[in-house]
Amino acid sequence: MTQKSDVKEQAKDILEETLDREAVIVLERISEEMQLLFRAHQEPASEEVERIVTGFFLESGKSEQFIDDWIKTSKEYSRTRGLGEQDQPKAMLSDLGVFRFMSFLKDKGLTDDQITIVLTGAVQQAASSGDGESEQL
């Protein structure tokens, strides 16, 4: 348990040291938007998720080639994780959320190592919240 708490504390320290209040608000907004997407699309079809992902990236100014590559990579990653066809659309939505967080943190100047710690801490926070704990990251 100490190891998990250490990562969550490291993640919290990184966020407090590197992000200003506005950045924290943006991260919260990304989180809220992704939660709404998951609630609205609890059992999404692959085509539906591809449309959501494509729309997001087009609004962000990404090229069609980038979008096609991103979708293909997400599908391949889902298969390598051993996910069946039915679970792949949910995984792609999850990948979109992680991508959004990572991109934002990268834009704010965090290193890859810092981003890894923050994302690991967030995953542990989500897992512990699912177990009835309510500690905030």
Q: What is the mean pLDDT of the chain?
A: 87
User: Rounded CA gap, 85 and 102, in Å?
Assistant: 26
In-domain check, residue 67: yes
In total, how many domains does the chain have? 1
* Residue 62: pLDDT over 80: yes
What's at 10, amino acid-wise? Q
Q: Which pLDDT tens digit goes with each residue over 24-45?
A: 899 899 989 999 999 999 999 9
In-domain check, residue 41: yes
Which range (3-12, 109-118, 124-133) has the least confidence? 124-133
Q: Which pLDDT tens digit goes with each residue over 66-121?
A: 999 999 999 999 999 999 889 999 999 999 999 999 999 999 999 999 999 988 88
In-domain check, residue 37: yes
In-domain check, residue 52: yes
Structure tokens at 48: 């539906």
Nearest by Cα to 14 from 26, 3, 6: 6
pLDDT computed for residue 130 by the predictor? 54
User: Rounded CA gap, 83 and 79, in Å?
Assistant: 5
Q: Which pLDDT tens digit goes with each residue over 90-104?
A: 999 999 999 999 999
pTM equals 0.80
In-domain check, residue 2: no
pLDDT computed for residue 51 by the predictor? 96
In-domain check, residue 49: yes
Contact assessment for residue 41 and residue 49, using Cβ atoms and an 8 Å cutoff: yes
User: Rounded CA gap, 12 and 34, in Å?
Assistant: 21
pLDDT computed for residue 15 by the predictor? 85
Strand, helix or coil for residue 91: helix
User: Rounded CA gap, 26 and 45, in Å?
Assistant: 28
In-domain check, residue 62: yes
**Residue ranges making up the domain that contains 20:** 8-128
* Residue 63: pLDDT over 50: yes
Q: Which pLDDT tens digit goes with each residue over 44-55?
A: 999 999 999 999
In-domain check, residue 137: no
Enumerate helices (H) and strands (E) in the chain, giving the number of each.
Answer: 6, 0
Q: CA-CA-CA-CA torsion for 63, 65, 70, 72, nearest 10 degrees?
A: 160
